[in-house]
């Protein structure tokens, strides 16, 4: 194990003993291709695979490597629990040798927000239509730009799955995360087009978007 990681091993156990138990803390050895775990505190079930996936994304992206972090990434565990995941890259001579990860379990906060939402009883369809109307009246830049367009939705959907109607929940979530990050849902009609391309209901698309927003805070 790299000597630099030994300092962070102590920090990992310190963080795990001082922050809420809803925060999972993981220290990875990033010098090895399989990213072995060096230290793991407040273990959550089924998060390692997706956390390693985020780590692989971070280390392969030049801008993320330069910044040294990947923050507030949506992560879904094998048991379908939602987490907000952040990575801090540990470098030595500009080489990534490790990564310190914080996964915050969002389910308890999402349940609380669901209770508040049900009490307030907002109609998401009406709110979305109102938002789009306001954006059109104001000449919203994101709507008037040529890119991305509604056709981008089809490109991303069919670029990720061969038969959208047979896509798994995880595949749908990944697609909607990609669309969300592109700002697609600022375009009027994007929710309806996404529902059509994924062969699901518009309400399902709204639910996925709501989960992403809640997980990212």
Tell me: the pLDDT tens digits for 38-60?
999 998 888 998 899 889 988 88
Question: If you average pLDDT over residues 4-9, what whole number do you get?
Answer: 87
Tell me: the pLDDT tens digits for 125-169?
666 666 676 666 655 444 344 467 899 999 999 988 889 989 898
Position 192 scores a pLDDT of 94
In angstroms, the CA 63 to CA 68 distance is: 8
pLDDT reading at 201 higher than 90: yes
- Using alpha carbons only, what angle is made at residue 179 by residues 174 and 184, rounded to the nearest 5 degrees? 165
Position 215 scores a pLDDT of 85
In angstroms, the CA 88 to CA 69 distance is: 5
Position 72 scores a pLDDT of 86
Q: What is the DSSP letter of 143?
A: H
Exposure class string for 37-46: b at 16+ Cβ within 10 A, else e: ebbbbbebee
Tokens 């220290």 — which residue?
27
Contacts (Cβ under 8 Å, ≥6 apart) of 131: none
Burial of 47 (0-12, 13-18, 19+ CB in 10 A): buried
Position 127 scores a pLDDT of 60
Question: What are the chain's domains?
Answer: 3-105 (3.30.450.20), 109-216 (no CATH)
């Amino acid at each position: 194990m790299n000597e630099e990681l030994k300092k962070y091993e102590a920090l990992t156990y310190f963080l795990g003993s001082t922050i809420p138990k809803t925060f999972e803390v993981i220290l990875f050895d990033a010098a090895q291709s399989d990213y072995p775990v060096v230290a793991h505190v407040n273990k959550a079930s089924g998060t390692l695979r997706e956390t390693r996936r985020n780590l692989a994304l971070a280390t392969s992206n030049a801008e993320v490597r330069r910044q040294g972090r990947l923050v507030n990434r949506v992560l879904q565990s094998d048991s379908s629990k939602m987490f907000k995941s952040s990575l801090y890259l540990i470098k030595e001579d500009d080489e990534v040798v490790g990564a310190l990860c914080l996964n915050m379990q969002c389910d308890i906060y999402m349940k609380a927000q669901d209770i508040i939402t049900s009490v307030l009883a907002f109609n998401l369809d009406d709110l979305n239509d109102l938002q789009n109307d306001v954006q059109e009246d104001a000449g919203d830049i994101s709507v008037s730009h040529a890119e991305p367009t509604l056709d981008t939705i089809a490109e991303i959907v069919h670029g990720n799955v061969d038969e959208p109607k047979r896509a798994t929940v995880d595949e749908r979530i990944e697609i909607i995360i990609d669309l969300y990050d592109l700002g697609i849902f600022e375009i009027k009609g994007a929710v309806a087009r996404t529902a059509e391309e994924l062969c699901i209901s518009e309400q399902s698309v709204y639910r996925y978007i709501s989960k992403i927003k809640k997980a990212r805070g």
